[in-house]
Amino acid sequence: MLEAKFSGSSEEALPPFPDPEVSSITLEGKPGARIAYTYYPASASKPSHLNPFSKSLVVFLNGMVQPRASWNAAINIFHEKQITNRLPYPALLTYDRYGQGDSDRDPDDPPADGPAHGHDVMSVVHVLYQFTQQIWKEHLDPTDSPCFIFVGNSIGCAIGRLFAQTYPGTVLGLMFLDSVIANTDFVSLWPDPDAPLFNPSILPPSTTAGDIRSARTNMSRMFHPDVPSREGLSRRNLPKLLPDANGPKLEGYHSEGPYVTVVGHDWETFALQTEKGMMKVPQLLTMTYVNPVWQKYNEGLTKITDQGKAIGPLIAVGSGHFVQVDQPGFVADELVSLLDRVVNQVKHVYVTDAIDA
């Protein structure tokens, strides 16, 4: 447990950091398989100052690469901010999906020795619902209706959207950290150099048809929905589940649209990481063909709630796709901002300038 610090203007000790519960749980109907999680309790209410977050739970939704441990730094910074400023904070929950991190494989999946298409995103959504219901009953007030705030990265954002669609009235807020582009196969983002009407003159300077062909091949091998995953999560039907970025509109807690924060990666950082990493795609090609499409998708995500209840797309400066890893302080700041909007019921009109590729 982190030690409490002291205020420079007071000798009074700050409240202690919450003691996380690192554990696992077996879901009803799925015996023999455990889901690993870390639960951070909410700050205590006082007679003179009730915790406004005592009836909500913030749940962090992983992408397909980074497990629940990837949120640790952001959570530590968030707690430090709230405790140092003597502000209340909600209960927080991280978990590894079946087949991910410290969790067992989904017992309903067919046996597989490696990457597989064992279950789809809707299966993950239903498991998440059952998991959060059990956590709510064990750790929060079982007499209250569950109220969730989701912070997701990559495919975790799609999971959060589908949860809110499937279980209306349960989600109070959503933070999308570089959401997966759910309605693409990641290959069609690029021109096809082997198409009969392909015109090489449309390519960026010093770019060849071979460069485009290589980028398409690498994208297909890594990100096409037909590529199986180690956790057994299949993306094959994701474009059908979420065909549009800007809809459907979500019905959140108390039948109102949820508060939404949309965050995108830093264009240059992402392009550099894509070139230096496994993809080996030149930066200019990512800046030309990928980043503008991602930005437009993020703009669409701001339309899935009531007017004035979404901000963004914000840019996580210095961050690639895994925002919580590259910029945990940014994630902590935006969580503070989202919680402030939720508590004070603040509506924003957010205007962002277009980013030139």
* Separation of CA 200 from chain center: 37
Residues of the chain where predicted confidence (pLDDT) is lower than 50: 1-10, 350-357
Give dist(CA 343, CA 138) in Å, integer.
24
Interatomic CA distance for residues 124 and 159, integer angstroms: 7
* Nearest to 227, CA basis, from 313, 115, 111, 305: 115
- Identity of the amino acid at 338: L
Tokens 């939720």 locate to 342
So what's the pLDDT on residue 216?
95
| In CATH, 21-185+225-344 is 3.40.50.1820 | yes
Token readout for 285 is 């090609």
All structural domains of the chain with their residue ranges? 21-185+225-344, 186-220
The string over 32-71, giving b where at least 16 C-beta atoms fall within 10 Å of a residue's C-beta and e elsewhere, is: ebbbbbbbbebbeeeeeeebebbbbbbbbbbbbebbbebb
Q: How far apart are CA 314 and CA 295, in angstroms?
A: 10
**What one-letter code names the amino acid at 10?**
S
**pLDDT per residue over 310-323, tens digit each?**
999 999 999 999 99
Separation between Cα atoms, residue 203 and residue 193, nearest integer Å: 10
Adjacency order of strands within the sheet including 21-26: 21-26, 34-40, 91-95, 57-61, 148-154, 171-179, 259-265, 310-316
Q: Which run of H or E residues covers position 218? A: helix 209-223
Give the contacts of 210 (CB within 8 A, at least 6 positions apart).
193
Angle, helices 267-276 vs 291-301, to 10°: value is: 130
